[in-house]
Amino acid sequence: MTAATAAPVPYGPTLERWLQRLANEDRSHRTLEAYRADLDDTMIDVAAAAGALADRAALAALGPVERAAAVRDALAGFDLRQVTLDDLDGALAAFRTRPDPRYTRNPTEAPRARAANTVARRAAAIRSFFAWCEDTGRLPDDPARKLRSPRRPRRLPRTMSDAAAEQLFDGAATGSRWPERDALIVALGLACGLRLEEIATLRLDNLVGDPAAPDRILVRGKGGKERSLGVPALVADALAAYLPTRRVRLDRLGLDARTLVVSTRPRPLVDPAGREIGRTVDASKETVAYVVDRVLRGLGVRQRGTRVHGLRHTFAAIGLREGALNLRELQEALGHASLSTTEIYTHVTDEAVAEGMRHHPLGRRRGTPTQ
């Protein structure tokens, strides 16, 4: 069968099969939804360029229900064989300069173009999808193979000073309704370098050995990858203080919890259909973020971009700088798939070296040698 007479490759079912493949690889639900949103939004521009869908201006004039139906119907059967590199380049350029909907209420604050990292993530999703279409024989050629994305700026991670990091744990109890729990949350971020979601989803049975004095902590990170961490004294002490209060709280509420960290108030537990089937005090990401934000604000060290991930960055930068972990060990502790991701923390160390050189006694001499 020639390319001209080959069966159409409808976007809708093809996208679902690709997402199903990624789900089988244990990609997170959040990752799958991000891929779906990126590709659906891209294909709106591609389909409009092919005349299969109205342009965005015409779509904007429709009501929300009509607009969603028009997009769904047009994309479901759109033939992916029609897609060209120029179509994808045009869609990516339009996305880069299109006003960000998050600034609808304050359009004057919207940046002139989306961040390079945001555009690069979308380009990566597009390339991954079309490469899979070619690899599985759905398309004879990959139109996204030569799709280029902007160079991502290499930004230094935001870290806290040593003094602020030392104050943070003691500050967790100040003004807290549950000081033992809040101290544990801060300890897991600052002394173990756990991500926000990792703290929220850590289970009691992830503590290997006696929970009050565990030998190891098993952490399930991005992509379902599990890593085994040692238990720093700071975390061990926090666990010993917290676990008895956890049991008392749960007994008082008449509930149990799967997560190590629990919320102070029960919330509805719903099934996939949205029906309420009980109550839960399992931790949420919002709970963890709120606690860390409160502690940082209380100490006056809250900065833009410095929340739970700021604790993780601080753990990494100080651990590497003080020689507690080498680069390869730090990669394992943080759960990074690539060593290049971990290497950004070497630049924090470089900054410390640069600062020291600026204050070197011989570097402070003034004047030039005389002849």
* 312 a catalytic residue: yes
Q: Residue 64 phi/psi, 5° resolution?
A: -55, -40
Residue of 11, 35, 242, 345 marked active site: 345
Whether 345 is a known active-site residue: answer yes
Place of tokens 């509930």: 255
Catalytic residue among 195, 246, 249, 313: 195
Rounded Cα distance between 314 and 159, Å, is 5
The label of the residue with tokens 């996305």 reads 95
Q: Which one of 27, 216, 309, 321 is the catalytic residue?
A: 309
> Is residue 336 among the annotated active site residues?
yes
Torsion sign, CA atoms 159, 162, 165, 171: negative
- 44-48: list long-range contacts, CB under 8 Å, 24+ apart: 44/71, 44/75, 45/87, 45/90, 45/91, 45/94, 45/95, 46/78, 46/83, 46/87, 46/88, 46/91, 47/74, 47/75, 47/78
Is the CB of residue 209 less than 8 Å from the CB of residue 290? no
| 333 and 230 Cβ atoms separated by less than 8 Å | no
Show the tokens assigned to 124.
Answer: 């990566």
Q: Is 222 a catalytic residue?
A: yes
Cα torsion angle, 113, 117, 120, 122, sign: negative
**Cα of 45 vs its chain's centroid, Å:** 27
Task: Decide: 260 and 206 in contact? Cβ < 8 Å.
Answer: yes
Which of 56, 121, 222, 227 is an active site residue? 222
Structure tokens at 302: 């809250």
HEC string for 252-299: HHCCCCCECCEEEEEEEEECCCCCEEEEEEECCHHHHHHHHHHHHHHH
Nearest to 247 by CA among 276, 214, 204, 286: 204
- Catalytic residue annotation: 195, 222, 309, 312, 336, 345
